[in-house]
Amino acid sequence: MNRGRFIRDFVIRTVLFLTTVCFLSGRATAQTVNGTFHGTVSDSSGAILPGATVEVKNASTDLVRQTTTTGDGFYTITQLPPGHYSLNASKSGFTTARQADVELLVNQDAEVNFTLQVGAVSQTVDVTAAPPALQTTNATISQVIGSKEVVDLPLNGRQFTQLVLLTPGAAPKETGQQGFFVIPIGGGGISPSVNGQRGQQNNFTLDGVLNNAIFDNTWAISPPPDAIQEFNVQSQMTDAQFSISSGANVNVVTKPGSNQFHGAVWEFLRNDKLDAANFFDNFFNHKKPPFRQNQYGFQAGGPLYIPHLYDGRAKKTYVSGYWEGFRSTKGFTVTNNVPTAAELGGDFSDILTHTQATVVDPTTLQPIPIFDPLGRPVRNGQIFDPYSTRQVTAGQVDPVTGIVAKSTGLVREPFGENIITGVPLNPQALAQSQRAAKHVPQLCGLQQRCHQKRPVRSQIRPHVR
């Protein structure tokens, strides 16, 4: 009796929890990442076949959708998640035609046509050399980056946005134009210029939901590469649903749950023991600043399974999610310029070089020495102002400035050619940060499909000690 009550209470609490999570979801503007199959069904003579049945089946989730052709022989099946499908077309008095392993990409409107032969419906003709699905319904120019490229290509900071540069017309921009920005967590994210537009004019979506950080004009949530199924970069002639920006539309799709369990675990390490010392540390015989960086996490998906209570394979209920952490402890070697004793006293003449300035004679192409109005040679680095000698008398120095100058460190001996070197300061500043993200992407059950996502990102502010 107690065991039965425990199971009943567990089921009730689980249902209440999932229901609460669904109702807590905020309102979001949807921009679909799903695809569409459309085409015609005809007989061997080319005549259209109205009323033919067309069925598509998802290879990973066993999702089945059916429709019939119109009086013109056309069919359309919309709102299909990206993935691999098998398509069947059948009609009484004709054999069944089947095309297996047809890949549907993000936002793709794929055309797949069928030709049925006279025969029994029980007979099946497998089309193994079918042409690739065509995109003939719109003029959108896009580039799809698949999971293999996302995972295999090296990414600084494991930011998928760097792969946007694989798209024709995309180019990195300078920091001042917000084309490249260093993220406090992980770093390496970019928002490139596409077809000449500014980097902040791109639009990012995550599984059909707007994913823009309005303040920074960049993406808001960056899933780890191992959790991305694929993403599509639409660079020109996009649909009206993506009219929010004049740049590219980057549509990211995360890995959904399927009828098979799958997952990944990762750990990426950076350590000062594996790095070379920088020039200034070697020159002044300083230790390398400490550097410890760890980026770790996991991704998992499959059917929802509760022993003795619920079997997701039978109910076609699938879940998937990911979590990633980032921790960095890093020291810095800082270089700066400090004045010499002469400069603290107002004498900046050591900045002047010993070489005389010249100009080139346009006729003979020979250098001509330069002199000032008083006949004195003009040296390189000299500025024509009341202090042409770069010397300031004591009476011309502000008293407060003089006090500050006396308390400032100095360089006793300048280097050759009067070049004053930067003196390294190594405060052993240690910065720490951490990122976490989790995702519960898909719950599909019974006769309806529901979609619940709850991306979370937390950060510990970097500090110095």
d(CA 190, CA 183): 9
Of all helices (H) and strands (E), which one includes residue 87? strand 83-90
- Count how many residues are written for the chain: 465
3-state helix, strand, coil in the chain (%, to 5): 20, 35, 45
Whose CA is closest to 333, among 381, 264, 294, 282? 282
Q: What is the mean pLDDT of residues 449-457?
A: 45
pLDDT digits (tens, 9 = 90+) for 154-172: 887 788 888 888 888 888 7
Share of the chain above pLDDT 90, in %: 5
DSSP state of 374: T
Q: At 89, list the tokens.
A: 């077309």
Q: Tell me the pLDDT band of 133, cut-offs 50, 70 and 90.
A: low
Does residue 180 carry a pLDDT above 50?
Answer: no
Phi, psi of 265 (to 5 degrees): -130, 140
* Identity of the residue numbered 285: N
Domains observed in the chain: 35-127 (2.60.40.1120), 139-254 (2.170.130.10), 266-337+422-438+451-465 (no CATH), 344-413 (no CATH)
pLDDT of 54 reads 93
* Low-confidence winner among 10-19, 206-215, 303-312 (lowest mean pLDDT): 10-19
Identify the three-state secondary structure at position 401: helix
Q: Which residues pair with 43 in a beta bridge?
A: 116
Question: Residue 254 in contact with residue 228, Cβ under 8 Å?
Answer: yes
Identify the pLDDT of residue 69: 92
Q: CB of 168 within 8 A of CB of 144?
A: no
The residue among 251 and 392 whose pLDDT is bigger is 251
Whose tokens are 């970069």? That residue is 233
Candidate from 349-358, 401-410, 444-453 with smallest mean pLDDT: 444-453
What is the C-alpha separation between 19 and 14, in angstroms, rounded? 9
What are the distances in angstroms from CA 359 to CA 247, 364, 389?
Answer: 48, 12, 21
Average pLDDT over residues 104-111: 84
Nearest of 302, 258, 259, 300 to residue 82 by alpha carbon:
258
CA distance 35 to 106: 6
Q: Across-strand partners of 163?
A: none
pLDDT in tens, 292-309: 888 888 999 888 888 888
Q: Are 264 and 302 in contact (CB under 8 A)?
A: no
Note the helical H segments in 364-422: 399-406
Q: Which pair of structure tokens corresponds to residue 133?
A: 């699905």
Q: Is the pLDDT of residue 265 over 90?
A: yes
Residue 264 has pLDDT above 50, yes or no: yes
Q: Say yes or no to pLDDT of 412 above 50.
A: no
Q: Which of 90, 103, 95 is nearest to 130 (CA)?
A: 103
Q: CA 60 from chain center: how many Å?
A: 26
β pairing state of 114-116 and 35-43: parallel
Range ranked top by mean pLDDT from 75-84, 242-251, 363-372, 418-427: 75-84
Highest mean pLDDT: which range of 18-22, 228-232, 414-418: 228-232
Q: How far apart are CA 146 and CA 232, in angstroms?
A: 9
